[in-house]
Amino acid sequence: MLELKNIRKTYHIGDIETKAIDDISVSFREKEFVSILGTSGSGKTTCLNIIGGLDRYDSGELVIKGKKTSSFKDKDWDAYRNNSVGFIFQSYNLILHLSIVANVELGMTLSGMSAGERHKKAIDVLTRVGLKEHLHKKPGQLSGGQMQRVAIARALANDPEILLCDEPTGALDTTTSGQIMDLIREVAKDRLVIMVTHNPDIAQKYSDRIIRFQDGKIISDTNPYEAQAEDSVFNLRKTSMSFFTALKISFNNIRTKKGRTFLTALASSIGIIGIAVILSLSSGFKVQIDKFQSDAMAEFPIIISQSAAEINAENIASMQSEMQDSMMGTQEYVQSDKAFLYDPSESVFMHKNLLTDEYLGYLDNIDPEICSGIGYTYTVSMNMLRDVDGTVTPISLNSKSSSTSVMSSGANATGLSSYPELLKGEGKTYLERTYELLDGSYPTDATDIVLVVDTRNRIDKKILQGLGFETENLDSVSFDKIVGTEFKIITNNNYYVKTPFGTYIPGQDYNAMYAADGNISVKISGVIRVKDGETGILNPGIAYSDSLSKMIIESSKDSEIVAAQKASDTNVMTTEKLDEASKTSLLSYLGGNAAPYMVMLYPDNFEDKDAIIAYLDEYNKDLKTDDQIVYTDLAATMSSMTGGIMDGITIVLIAFAGISLVVSLIMICIITYTSVLERTKEIGILRALGARKKDITRVFDAETCILGIFSGLLGILIAWLLTFPINIILFNLTELKGVARLDPRYAIFLVVLSTVLTILGGHIPARMASKKDAVEALRSE
């Protein structure tokens, strides 16, 4: 059954050699109870460990059931320990954080038995050793004798052919020893039991055969046996521990140290908290910036003007460096007594855009899905008269008090703006989306105009004066006085009078002009104000539709004065000489030029803006530089600046948080290492039960995995809780609401990251654990 042939084992510590086993040859029967007696240090335990596959011999041969073990690989030894050998130790060697049933099940788990079968078998053997009443207990709640019974049950669970007992009663009183020995005697009826003991009486009383050791040699054997040549019928079932079992073992271990686990997880979650808070802040700020940018987009549509300064990256860079020079005082000074002449217009490259009918048609055909509105600005003048309480007086829509600003896009003069028309034909108009109605109605016809007041309902006094309202000594004008006010835009033919000299002057007979046919009647349909949270493009004052301008141009283009002006190179009103450009602009002013001065395209979002730009670029593709239409996209310059800054800040902050993640990684490494040291005995027990080195690594990987998931979840929870005070603080500082928000996708990613990093950090100590010598591990306390 079991044969040791010239087995030797020597331990080397420094220069000192200890011959623990010195050429032992002995054979065992298939069923017998053998006691090994001997003085301390005589090599008994070493021999038992070699037989049990816990320790390796240096030379000789161990033959098990006719199979030589010299060719055994690690995995064969693991399987041998698991299937064929049961160990019983003096100090019981139970895993304290597992229940006694789980302790007994462990060996069977490694041999791959199903959960149900395992459990039944564990209960059976525990009942057999007399522990039926104590199944629910943990090892720590049992007496020494009871613990040894559990150890016996564990050793018997896999029904091994060999039971190895190393002083099984060494720690027990006489009565209990007797009971345990009776049990072992019983077990020995159908297997080989080899017991190491110091107690000759016990050996005498219970065993069939006594072998005495001295200085690593056998000095006597009461019942020697000569091994018969056997055919090898030795079949080993390979052992393996599932990751789930590893998780269960580790989870139970962690459960016994709740406080420490919590503190460890808390400390190692700091890095995750840092990154989660930074990510939630940066994504929150990004949302704010995106919102700001989409507002900015409404404010800065893509502008196509008749003449465009080419703003490109180069210009911006040179502007920036000029600014920097003046701020830093690094401007260039030249020593000279001459004044150098230069033409400033040469340094600004102006591109003339020819807004031909073809191009305007091209713009009109833009996909309404990508461009929510197109606004046209014309420089046509509006000659208006209003009947104020029976007196017809000239009025103006324009306060004429402030300068024109292209930056405020839709406006062609302060107090007078045109609003973009809806391209989609359905849905809310730009005004309905962006402005709230204070009185009257939104414009429905081209001839409906609206009064825009600011958020405090204010309006420039001069605008209402221009419209013919009485404002002298007044603080306010009620809306119903304004809404419904009608006036007329007088056609050129009605407005201009030809003088005997062939020139044209505005007529003076307002009543006749007002009453004449062909004028365009206009009505103030309502008063509007920008909605809270929206950014409007309209200046406080009057806003009218592009169609109104088109109507005026339509009515003016065939008028006498336009015809006369087209035919003349002098100003038909002042007889002043005109160059080509002034003539064009005068014709535009008179409504003789259908081309808009400026076109603005309104996207809804960045993708749409890109699509619009692609559409505009498409037109320019095959054209010569001079014929190309240059557009201005101010939002792009803004967004690339803000986006870049935000990304930069985020990266720097994450780098800092990353450092704390590395620190927690090192900490996990140390903590796992401590856990390995603490659980050395457990490693020995698992190895004795047949766990492979891989399985030991797995147990610790499982522990760090649990720790990683837990610290990840804890980190996310804390980071999420932190977003509330952070938001309150940010709101107080910046009035931005809900900036910090934790994206669930980031949260999941960070938990995974924490788990992976923790497993990585713990893997090295876990590998170290697996390399521990089983015998030494068992010996540790």
**Which residues contribute to the site for ligand ATP (CB under 6 A)?**
11, 13, 18, 20, 38, 40-46
The smaller minimum CB distance to ligand ATP, of residues 17 and 627, is found at 17
- Whichever of 2 and 20 has its CB closer to ligand ATP, that residue is 20
Residue whose pair of structure tokens reads 């304290």 in the numeric block? 96
Q: Angle formed by the axes of helices 270-299 and 634-678, to 10°?
A: 170
Q: Which residue, 450, 519, 509, is CA-closest to 482?
A: 450
Q: Which is nearer to ligand ATP, 42 or 264 (CB)?
A: 42
Distance CA 86, CA 161 (A): 8
- Cα 264 to Cα 267: distance, rounded to the nearest angstrom: 5
Q: Is the dihedral of CA 622, 624, 628, 633 positive or negative?
A: positive
- The C-alpha atoms of residue 657 and residue 534 are separated, in whole angstroms, by 36
Q: How far apart are CA 170 and CA 326, in angstroms?
A: 93
The CA–CA distances, whole Å, from 508 to 166, 392, 447, 487, 495 equal 128, 11, 25, 17, 9
Q: Which is nearer to ligand ATP, 16 or 229 (CB)?
A: 16
* Residue 759 C-beta: closest distance to ligand ATP, Å: 32
Q: How far is the CB of 134 from ligand ATP (least distance, A)?
A: 30
Determine phi and psi for 221, rounding to 5 degrees: -150, 120
Instruction: Provide the token pair at 400.
Output: 């004429």
Q: Specify the residue, 13 or 348, whose C-beta has the smaller distance to ligand ATP.
A: 13
Rounded least distance, CB 41 to ligand ATP, Å: 4
Rounded least distance, CB 13 to ligand ATP, Å: 5
Q: Which is nearer to ligand ATP, 40 or 403 (CB)?
A: 40
Cβ of residue 46: shortest distance to ligand ATP, in angstroms? 3
Tell me how far, at minimum, the Cβ of 278 lies from ligand ATP, in Å: 52
Query: Which CB sits closer to ligand ATP, 170 or 658?
Result: 170
- Rounded CA-CA distance 670/276 in Å is 24
Of residues 45 and 207, the one with the C-beta less far from ligand ATP: 45
- 597 close to 379: Cβ distance less than 8 angstroms: yes
CB of residue 199 vs ligand ATP: minimum separation in angstroms?
A: 11
**Residues near 572 by Cβ (< 8 Å), separated by ≥ 6?**
502, 503, 504, 561, 564, 565
204 versus 391: smaller Cβ distance to ligand ATP: 204
Give me the DSSP letters along 665-712. HHHHHHHHHHHHHHTHHHHHHHHHTT--HHHHHHHHHHHHHHHHHHHH
Cβ at position 168, least distance to ligand ATP in Å: 13
- The counts of H helices and E strands in the chain are 27, 27
Smallest distance, ligand ATP to C-beta of residue 689, A? 21
214 versus 315: smaller Cβ distance to ligand ATP: 214
Q: Closest distance between ligand ATP and the C-beta of residue 23, in Å? A: 14
SS3 category, 105: helix
Question: What DSSP letter does each residue of 396-429 carry, written as one string?
Answer: -S----S---STTTTEEETTEEEEPEESSSSS--
Query: Could you tell me the smallest distance in angstroms from the CB atom of residue 703 to ligand ATP?
Result: 27
CA 484 – CA 526 distance, rounded (Å): 8
Give, as one character, the DSSP assignment of residue 491.
P
Q: Which residues on adjacent β-strands are paired with residue 119?
A: none
Rounded Cα distance between 67 and 84, Å, is 13
What is the Cα–Cα distance from 537 to 452, expressed in whole angstroms? 11
Q: Which CB atom, from 57 or from 430, has the smaller least distance to ligand ATP?
A: 57
Where does residue 10 rank: exposed (0-12), middle (13-18), buried (19+ CB within 10 A)?
middle
State which residue, 386 or 681, has the beta carbon closest to ligand ATP.
681
Per the structure block, which two tokens stand in for 397?
């829509």
DSSP 213: E
How far apart are CB 659 and ligand ATP at their closest, in Å?
Answer: 43
Cα–Cα dist 435/155, whole Å: 84
Q: Minimum CB separation from ligand ATP for residue 24, in Å?
A: 11
HSE-up (13 A, CA, CB side) for residue 140: 5
Measured from the CB atom, the residue of 46 and 158 that comes closer to ligand ATP is 46
Q: How many CB atoms lie within 10 A of CB 394?
A: 16
**Number of other CB atoms surrounding residue 497 within 10 Å:** 16
Q: Minimum distance between the CB of residue 778 and ligand ATP, rounded to whole angstroms?
A: 11
C-alpha R_g of the chain: 48
Cα gap 273→719, rounded to integer Å: 5
Phi, psi of 207 (to 5 degrees): -95, 160
Least distance in angstroms from the C-beta of 176 to ligand ATP: 21
Question: Which of 167/703 has CB closer to ligand ATP?
Answer: 167
| Smaller CB separation from ligand ATP, 18 or 324 | 18
CB neighbour list of residue 230: distance below 8 Å, 6 or more residues apart: 1, 65, 66
* Residue 526, strand partner residues: 440, 450
Q: Do the strands 209-214 and 217-221 form a parallel or antiparallel pair, or are they unpaired?
A: antiparallel
| Closer to ligand ATP by Cβ: residue 87 or 700 | 87
Would you tell me the crossing angle of helices 144-157 and 100-110 to the nearest 10 degrees?
20
In angstroms, give the least distance from the CB of 73 to ligand ATP.
22
Q: Is 93 helix (H, G, I), strand (E, B) or coil?
A: coil
Nearer to ligand ATP (CB atom), residue 118 or residue 681: 681
Task: State the minimum distance, in angstroms, from the CB of residue 204 to ligand ATP.
Answer: 18
